[in-house]
Amino acid sequence: MKIIILLGFIISISFSQTGNDFLKEYPIDKRMKEMSNTEFFNHKHYLSLIYSVKEDTSFTSKILDEIANSEKFLPKTLKYRTCGMSKKQEVRVIKKWCDENPESMNKSFSFIVISSFMELPLKTEEECLELNKKK
């Protein structure tokens, strides 16, 4: 079973995801116990995409260049905007951005993650350390 999930994950990464795909596939209001196998896979898939966008600063900076009037990208900018947030809160921020920007749903999911997180306030390193201690 783990091999099938891993293969599905690898295959799904090779296909471009959009905001429309996220809205259609992510089980927003379901608890893990309530998810079907497909919903659980989609849940894990999108969380891994969000994580990879936040971690890959070279890729992220290329996408930021696509965003009109983007601020100069600084390493850890996305981490300093999302520190202290749970994965569920991050997903809700992305969902809210999608709801407020329906004209951008055909853009890549990476673009949407970055766009939604860039609207959050930038915290200092000290604020992030303090927030992460409380977790």
Number of independent structural domains in the chain: 1
Q: Which domain holds residue 58?
A: 2-134
Read off the pLDDT of residues 43-80 as tens digits, 9 standing for 90 and up.
999 999 998 888 765 555 555 555 545 555 544 678 88
Report the alpha-carbon distance of residue 60 to residue 79 in Å, rounded: 12
Read off the pLDDT of residues 2-31 as tens digits, 9 standing for 90 and up.
555 544 444 444 456 899 999 999 999 899
- 38-58 burial: b if 16+ Cβ within 10 Å, else e: eebbbbebbeebbeebbeebe
pTM over 0.85: no
